[in-house]
């Protein structure tokens, strides 16, 4: 069974969207394997976004993701990575379709409510980073 890492970012937590976002994934039929709320350290943020290091928006990414608590999760199900990415919608909420999480809930490109793994390799890396005990 495929697993993916999924996170509700600080803007989603601040806005009280945790329950409605989790409900979407549960309604789809995926199984929640692990969940924790935490505030990401600057070191963990740099490791999480390592592929963006050196890009002009790297500091903005790490500053935002460390600005408040996040809800980190592991979800499981058939083709869960692709399905969750589809449910999330485009990274830019202005381009995200209505009915997607970002299309319905996100405000801006920099505050787009959620993060989800984009591949099995990324899922394994992110699950290992946030859930070292799994």
Q: Which parts of the chain sit beneath pLDDT 50?
A: none
Residue 132 is predicted with a pLDDT of: 85
Distance from C-alpha of 10 to C-alpha of 39, rounded to nearest angstrom: 9
The residues assigned a catalytic role are 115
CA-wise closest residue to 31 among 69, 70, 86, 83: 83
- Of the candidates 28, 30, 6, 33, the one whose C-alpha atom is nearest the C-alpha of residue 18 is 6
Provide the edge-to-edge strand list for the sheet that holds 114-116: 31-38, 70-76, 3-8, 114-116
Distance (Å, rounded) from C-alpha 88 to C-alpha 21? Answer: 10
Identify the pLDDT of residue 134. Answer: 66
Domains of the chain: 3-130 (3.30.70.141)
**pTM metric for this prediction:** 0.94
34 in Cβ contact with 73 (< 8 Å): yes
The whole-number pLDDT of residue 28 equals: 97
Q: Are 91 and 109 in contact (CB under 8 A)?
A: yes
């Amino acid at each position: 069974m495929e697993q993916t890492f999924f996170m509700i970012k600080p803007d989603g937590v601040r806005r009280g969207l945790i329950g409605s976002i989790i409900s979407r994934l549960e309604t789809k039929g995926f199984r929640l394997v692990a969940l924790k709320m935490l505030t990401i350290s600057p070191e963990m943020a740099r490791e999480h976004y390592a592929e963006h290091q050196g890009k002009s928006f790297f500091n903005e990414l790490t500053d935002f993701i460390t600005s408040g608590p996040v809800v980190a999760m592991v979800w499981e199900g058939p083709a869960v990575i692709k399905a969750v990415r589809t449910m999330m919608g485009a990274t830019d909420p202005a381009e995200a379709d209505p009915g997607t999480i970002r299309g319905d809930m996100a405000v801006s490109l920099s505050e787009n409510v959620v993060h989800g793994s984009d591949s099995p390799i990324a899922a394994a890396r992110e699950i290992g980073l946030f859930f070292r005990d799994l």
